[in-house]
Structure 1
Amino acid sequence: MEKRADISAALSVLNSIVPGLNISSSTGEQTNSSASPANYSLAGIPLNNTASLNQTEIDRARNCPGIEFITTRGANDSFTDGYWLKEMARQVMSRLPQETSRRTETRYDSNIGNDLQSQVKAALDGSWWVANYTTLLAQSCPNTTIIMMAYSLGAAANTVASTRPRFPLSRIKAAVYWGSPLRSPGRPQNRGTAKSALGQVALLGYRTPRGLEPVVRDYCVIGDVICTSWGTLGPHLSYANSSYQDETVDYLVQAALP
């Protein structure tokens, strides 16, 4: 009975963070009677893998490239293709076959406030897009190689996405995360100088699934306030143009090429 109370309390917190989620701890279904339970997972996420995608994105996911490079920018990054990931992404793309490779940036509202509630909601919203686009791509394009890279809030969105129902774990050849607020200590994918760090919102409990861990590299450096919960933004902005950038480019390119 005590465990039921804990579960109810946790679900209450999630319901307060994500308006409209309305999850019941007794049934695992939405409490909104207008919703069809058959169309929802226990996490309250629509199982339709085109949800949150517009028609252009649906068509793109069904138009199969040889290599798909999915990137997810961090919070308050007004650049469409992500300012902090731009150079790393450019270097990766420059070493892939130009005729058969493409980069796709996650579409989500990253221009948010600095409070944790807004950031958690944005990450959860972004995770739906990542999960649905990647799942549709994998189902539509069995021969496409998928690699991923995400920074800060984007890394949280990708981590949550990988826990969604039907996410194609086995199709991801490589994924690199930087300064994730969901950073968890003791994980085999941890890289950087702060391997035992606990991210700002890691206590929400989202973790990279075991099936994806072998291909993930999750970087965090000492003093990065986002992935260690203490320090400053200086280290959080230091990943680009570092030795870690070179490692990332080499890793993603080698994973993508036969």
Structure 2
Amino acid sequence: MHKSKKKFEAIVLDDPVITLDVKAYHALKGLLKDERFQKAKRLIITTHNIHYLYVQMSNILEDEQLRKYTKLYEITSDTFKDIPLDVLKSDDVSLYTNYLKSMTSYDQLGYIYWLSSKIARYFLDLRLRFNGIMSAQSMSLEIDLLDLVESEKHELQQYFNILSETCKKKNLTVKSIIESFISVNQILKILGFPQLVNQSTIKQFEQYKSEIVKINDESINVYDELLVYARGIHFYEGTDRALQEMKNYINHPRNQITESMLVLKASKDI
């Protein structure tokens, strides 16, 4: 670091953790508090590593004063876009529930319907972990491992089947998506969790039951973009190994699309 007492307009760190491990992320965060970095009016950090960004931003997200002076940008080959800081606080469950609450048109169901299956899988995996059981490759096997009576296991399987079939349909009606929301709530009830989809949300779209939902890829905010790109990978059926591995990663119940898609969606390969 420069030893001069001169003030700088900015200090720029270009992907400072590219060869570092997770422990070093925290070490670097501590280093940036050093008084030598106070000589700059701005500290600019560029990174491809979303997990380091979470570490670096964690205290800022919880401090209103720091938030006022912090900006997050997404830079691609053709865009330079301001991203809301709260994106970094969102996980798949909060993305799912908040998006449902914010919807004003049944057309918006085309963004969120596919995520119901992943959300249900997440809570199935969580229930297994409460009992000290690691998740298995087969959902049917995971259901069988639960400490539930056989009738409840049978119900769970039926509701998961509804979610799976909804995802596979090419012409989705509002009615079928509402049924998938009800299935999510029933799955969570059997597993012992609170319901996620408010009855007011379901009631809001009941009058449009016979309408076909258009699958729209035109996003108006970063949350739409996350859902569009994640959906693209979720339904990817090609043979490209890298994309197939991305799909497997995204579909795993423990891997949040909100943590990974900010990086993956910048790729023109998707």
**TM range, normalised to the smaller chain?**
under 0.3
Q: TM-score, normalised by structure 1?
A: 0.28
Higher gyration radius (CA): 2
Counting helix residues as a fraction of each chain, which structure ranks higher? 2
